[in-house]
Amino acid sequence: MPLAFRIAALAALLLCGALFGFFYAWVCSTMWGLDAAAPEVAIRAMQAMNASVRNALFFPAFFLTGPALLLAALLAWKSAQPRQVTMLLTLAGLTVLLGGTVLTMAVNVPMNEALARVSDAEIEADAAAIWATYSAPWQVWNQTRTAFTGLALAMAGAALLKARSMQGQ
């Protein structure tokens, strides 16, 4: 197995795991915690978290996972890995790009930006309604992108297992 393919595939797998884990944490703890808090606290906390996520540490997982998986697929193809390896990595890359990146940019980000524009006066006047309108649909879309990135992670892992199992043959 060529070194370039191994490095690219491992990097892609790690990025995919990081992105899935990020989305999953929102599913199983963050949003439950915010829903349990007072609505005005939840809104302000979500505004702060959304503002802080745009950083250099999050950038690679969010923006580079799909391309990294596709690069690994290209290297798999060029190094004559089994067809299933190339296909699984390609499907994983497309799944992350469409079900993770595009979905987030098309749905979750606009919702986050709308929440960011909510003023203190609006929060004080009607926090419960604002949070109820935001939280439930945001969570549905977050669970959707979590499922897509989890599927991509499983496909990437299966590709690496297939490549490894064929190494000695």
Nearest to 163 by CA among 68, 89, 55: 89
Taking the whole predicted model, whether its pTM rises above 0.85 is answered as yes
Q: What percent of the chain stands above pLDDT 90?
A: 95
The structural domain count of the chain equals 1
Q: What is the pLDDT of residue 168?
A: 58
Top pLDDT among 2 and 94 is at 94
Asked if residues 28 and 146 have their Cβ atoms less than 8 Å apart, the reply is: no
Q: What is the pLDDT of residue 169?
A: 54
Q: What is the pLDDT of residue 1?
A: 79
Mean of pLDDT over the chain:
96
pLDDT band at 74 (very low <50, low <70, confident <90, very high): very high
In the predicted model, is pLDDT for residue 51 greater than 90?
A: yes
Q: What percent of the chain stands above pLDDT 70?
A: 99
Nearest to 40 by CA among 125, 161, 162, 97: 125
Cα–Cα distance measured from residue 13 to residue 10, given in angstroms and rounded to the nearest whole number: 5
Q: DSSP 3-state assignment of 18? A: helix
Average pLDDT over residues 129-143: 98
The residue written with tokens 């969570």 in the block is: 139
In the predicted model, is pLDDT for residue 87 greater than 90?
A: yes
Average pLDDT over residues 70-82: 96
Domain enclosing residue 93, as ranges: 3-167
Average pLDDT over residues 3-18: 97
Average pLDDT over residues 138-150: 98
Is residue 36 within a helix (H) or strand (E), and if so which, with residue range? helix 31-36
Count of positions (residues) in the chain: 169
Q: DSSP 3-state assignment of 168? A: coil
Is residue 127 within a helix (H) or strand (E), and if so which, with residue range? helix 120-167
